[in-house]
Amino acid sequence: MPKPADQPAGPADRSRPTAPQSDLKPGDEAPAGSPGTGENVCRRCGGSGKVQGSACPECNGTGVVTVVIGGA
């Protein structure tokens, strides 16, 4: 008698949508383009992209972060 497989049969289901892929910055609350999110000025650098003459570590020097908006 053959040994049952330990893996599911058939191809992987690739029809399910996936979340938008992006590089999250340390100050981001969610990936860019996620529902219920938007861009906001980075609080650490005030939108300049710089802290003490170097790229801001919260926004990676962009001056903006992705934040969750709204809520209940």
pTM listed for this prediction: 0.64
User: Does residue 18 sit within a domain?
Assistant: no
Tell me the per-residue pLDDT of 18-59, one tens digit each, with 9 for 90 and over. Answer: 555 557 999 999 999 999 999 999 999 999 999 999 999 999
The token duo for 68 is 């969750």
Tokens 């996620």, residue located: 34
Residue 52 to residue 58: CA distance in whole angstroms: 13
Q: How confident is the model at residue 70 (pLDDT cuts 50, 70, 90)?
A: confident
- Total domains, the chain: 1
> Is 45 within a domain?
yes
- Residue 50, in any domain of the structure: yes
